[in-house]
Structure 1
């Protein structure tokens, strides 16, 4: 509904993206907890890919679909995450 109001497109895919994000998050956390040595040796391309997916969701939730002072706070959060992740 918000996507349609903002972009004029009603696909319903946003819900499925949320489900995929949730599965990715749960999978990452479970892998980290259950097999920490394997998690530490994961492919080098995996971390930026996961962070990119997380960043996409965070930007949409904290910047795109909010307004006013909350958007400024969201921009600050996104900037802080990018700065932290680049270190």
Structure 2
């Protein structure tokens, strides 16, 4: 599982946002998008949930639940979950 240490994830908000936004751009172009990481435990479900929240208007807790429903082994690390909450709250205030 990726490290939950903030020191190992200095640009996590930016990186996750860029990944979710790229998924959205590619889907707008009519492309099929497949997300993949080593085991789909942390990175893949995090990006999927953020895409749903930012681009489909799904509340982040619902997005996480929906991702976990299709990826039962999903378990985003605490640093990623904290980033999801920061990013989605900031997006609501923008």
TM-score (norm 1): 0.38
Greater Rg by CA: 1
Q: Which has the larger helix fraction?
A: 1
Higher relative contact order (CA 8 A, sep 6+): 2
